[in-house]
Amino acid sequence: MKLGVLGTGMVGQAIAGRLVELGHEVKMGSRRAGNEKAVGWASEAGEGASEGSFPEAAGFGEVVVNATAGGASLEALEAAGADNLTGKVLIDVANPLDFSQGMPPTLSVCNDDSLGERIQQAFPEAKVVKALNTVNASVMVSPGALGESTNVFVCGNDEGAKAQVEELLRSFGWGEGRVFDLGDISAARGAEMYLPLWLRMFGALGTGEFNIGVVRGK
């Protein structure tokens, strides 16, 4: 499959790299084609890896991944262009973290709204699926390192899009029953508002190599 991954940070590199490893063609997008990190990634990631501008990457992908910083996501997607997202699955991995008040960050949107919803509202012709934002980059693409008992969450308004994302997550190593469907895109509030707890656990554990597993009573 052809995928566009918007964002050149750790998350973008981890996801784009894993997708190439799995045999997909991936164009990493950034504000301007020729971005140093994107060029470096494309030259090392192997066959199927390329880079370009946001619109080039979004236009290239049958599926588009938003791996930009949450505070810059709407702007990046505007740059990518609504036309390049129309009818496509848009996997939103970003968290609306606001570091302007110092550490730990707050959320720039939460409670009665979410970044996932704002993206869906701004791009009504895209099929937004919030996913993977509750784990760090390495857990996203290699969940098996934590064993078989942790979960990742998806939510979105389009069932077919969620099924397609689940299939992709399965190929990353998220096993049977480990992809938890929270419902429609408004559930992005839940997935994003988990971040403050994640950040405290990160602080207490001293590592981002952790995740939660949901255990249900019999």
- Is 216 a residue that touches its own copies (CB under 8 A)? yes
E strand or H helix at 108, and its extent?
Answer: none
- Is 189 a residue that touches its own copies (CB under 8 A)? yes
Of 30, 34, 90, 80, give the one whose Cα is nearest residue 59.
Answer: 80
Of 152, 141, 216, 210, give the one whose Cα is nearest residue 181.
Answer: 152
**Hunting for tokens 């509750």 — which residue is that?**
134
Distance CA 31, CA 36 (A): 11
According to CB under 8 A, which residues from 102 to 131 bind its own copies? 106-107, 110-112
Give the residue, chosen from 47, 103, 147, 176, that forms a contact with its own copies under the rule CB under 8 A.
Answer: 147
- Is 169 a residue that touches its own copies (CB under 8 A)? no
Distance CA 129, CA 42 (A): 26
Pairing state between β 89-92 and 179-183 = unpaired
Query: Of the two residues 54 and 198, which places its CB atom closer to its own copies in the complex?
Result: 198
- Is 204 a residue that touches its own copies (CB under 8 A)? yes
Any residues with CB less than 8 A from the CB of 107 and at least 6 apart, and which? 95, 96, 97, 98, 192, 193, 195, 196
- Is 1 a residue that touches its own copies (CB under 8 A)? no
Give the residue, chosen from 10, 21, 149, 158, that forms a contact with its own copies under the rule CB under 8 A.
Answer: 149
Choices 26-34, 116-124, 160-168, 197-205; region in contact with its own copies by CB under 8 A:
197-205
Any residues with CB less than 8 A from the CB of 191 and at least 6 apart, and which? 114, 116, 130, 133, 134, 153, 155, 182
- Is 132 a residue that touches its own copies (CB under 8 A)? no
Phi, psi (degrees; rounded to nearest 5) at 111? 75, -70
- Is 176 a residue that touches its own copies (CB under 8 A)? no
Give the residue, chosen from 146, 164, 170, 174, that forms a contact with its own copies under the rule CB under 8 A.
Answer: 146
Minimum distance between the CB of residue 211 and its own copies, rounded to whole angstroms? 6
Of 19, 162, 34, give the one whose Cα is nearest residue 91.
Answer: 162
Query: Of the two residues 27 and 118, which places its CB atom closer to its own copies in the complex?
Result: 118
According to CB under 8 A, which residues from 53 to 82 bind its own copies? none
Query: Of the two residues 41 and 153, which places its CB atom closer to its own copies in the complex?
Result: 153
Q: Which residues bind its own copies (CB under 8 A)?
A: 101, 106-107, 110-112, 139, 145-147, 149-150, 153, 155, 180-183, 187, 189-191, 193-201, 203-205, 207, 209-218
